[in-house]
Copies of this chain bind each other. A is one copy, B any other.
């Protein structure tokens, strides 16, 4: 049973580490990378680790109990996923390790992830698109978010978002309606129903996908935790789509984080008279985001050429499109009158008589012109 004990010790250590510092804590993750999780947890608990780590863990190091957190998690249906697990979402974590290594401000990988739901995190996040946006969204924004999420989910991508009211909720719902996978990253414990009105939605997300957080169960949401959580959403998506965002918004923060992480950002435009589209328009204008009008634009960016179904474009061809410009000019001139002589037509078009004489039978054959007693006329 030594293996079982070792695994339990590892989980206790990672649970302790997940709670002992407020994320993101580069000093902590560097220390864990250097010492390994169990020795790191022991040394921190014992005290005397060097600064800056000492400051980061000072307030909580004697108060956190890893085993108690694991028990509390189990009671609320949450489990701890750790980097040593085969289903650890390695790409998400590596992306943030890379950002920490180059010194990107506020970037560090999570030391563990608390999850509700049975989906293996590595599978759920293997092909993911982040869809985020304003809480105070418009009906237009929620409609577009749901449609877009539905489209990318139906194509096999997991929709990652933050479970907030407005765009986030619509994105999760769109993915669920498509029978697709969706993951909600929370700024609180995975057992905390926040926002309160999304308790049922979170339950369904856990059934069909995952609810995840780097905070231990019971952690309340705090303003700064939303910004910190946003980096997980940005890192989890192969691309981030902003559907509606005000001039200053959490979604804009997620977009800029995704951009800083080297991931493509897309933004959905809206009426320029709508406050909730200001952030999207800013992202496009400044070149941070490319403009997206639906799932098709997202898929085209992420999938190799030829894998995406053609856009549902309306057929805008006209019967006269195939005509030579001169024939089209003759047809235009015919449309304006009730029967023309060939000479008058040539003058009207500014084309040589022989050209008009040659073109009229061609138009007649195409069913675009007809000769009557009064002269030539257009049929359409």
Q: Which B residues touch A328, using CB under 8 A?
A: 223-224
Please give the count of copies of this chain that the complex contains.
2
In the complex, which of the residues B275, B297, B333 contacts A285, with contact meaning CB atoms closer than 8 Å? B297
A226: nearest chain-B partner, CB-CB: B332
In the complex, which of the residues B220, B314, B325 contacts A224, with contact meaning CB atoms closer than 8 Å? B325
A313 at the interface (CB under 8 A from B): yes
A21/B350 contact (C-beta < 8 A), A248-B316, A270-B269, A332-B222 known: yes
Q: A22–B350 contact, CB under 8 A?
A: yes
Q: A271–B271 contact, CB under 8 A?
A: yes
In the complex, which of the residues B268, B316, B353 contacts A272, with contact meaning CB atoms closer than 8 Å? B268
A58 at the interface (CB under 8 A from B): yes
A291/B281 contact (C-beta < 8 A), A223-B328, A247-B313 known: yes
A353: nearest chain-B partner, CB-CB: B59
A266: nearest chain-B partner, CB-CB: B285
In the complex, which of the residues B63, B140, B220 contacts A273, with contact meaning CB atoms closer than 8 Å? B140
Q: A284–B273 contact, CB under 8 A?
A: no
Interface size for chain A: under 10, 10 to 19, 20 to 34, or 35 or more residues?
Answer: 35 or more
Q: For the complex, what is the distance from the CA of A332 to the CA of B273, rounded to whole Å?
A: 33
A143 at the interface (CB under 8 A from B): yes
Q: B290–A285 contact, CB under 8 A?
A: yes
Q: Nearest-CB distance from A297 to chain B (Å)?
A: 7
What does the 1/0 interface line of A135-147 toward B look like (CB < 8 Å)? 0000010011000
A55/B352 contact (C-beta < 8 A), A224-B328, A268-B272, A273-B140 known: yes
Q: For the complex, what is the distance from the CA of A342 to the CA of B253, rounded to whole Å?
A: 31
What does the 1/0 interface line of A37-66 toward B look like (CB < 8 Å)? 000000000000000000111111001000
Most chain B CB atoms below 10 A, which of A25, A144, A220, A350: A350
A347 at the interface (CB under 8 A from B): yes
Q: Nearest-CB distance from A327 to chain B (Å)?
A: 11
Q: Of residues 219 to 269 in A, which have CB atoms within 8 Å of B's CB atoms?
A: 220, 222-225, 246-248, 268-269
Q: Which B residues touch A329, using CB under 8 A?
A: 22, 222, 224
What does the 1/0 interface line of A321-332 toward B look like (CB < 8 Å)? 000010011001
Q: B347–A59 contact, CB under 8 A?
A: yes
A32 at the interface (CB under 8 A from B): no
Q: Which 10 pairs between the two chains have the least Cβ-Cβ distance? A: A22-B350, A269-B269, A59-B346, A272-B293, A248-B316, A222-B332, A58-B352, A223-B332, A285-B291, A284-B291
Query: What are 13 pairs between A and B in contact, CB < 8 Å?
Result: A21-B350, A22-B329, A58-B353, A59-B350, A59-B353, A140-B271, A143-B273, A222-B332, A223-B332, A269-B270, A269-B271, A270-B272, A284-B284
Q: Give residues in A with beta carbon < 8 Å to B.
A: 21-22, 25, 55-60, 63, 140, 143-144, 220, 222-225, 246-248, 268-273, 275, 277-278, 281, 284-285, 290-291, 293-294, 297, 313-314, 316, 325, 328-329, 332-333, 335-336, 343, 346-347, 349-353, 355-356
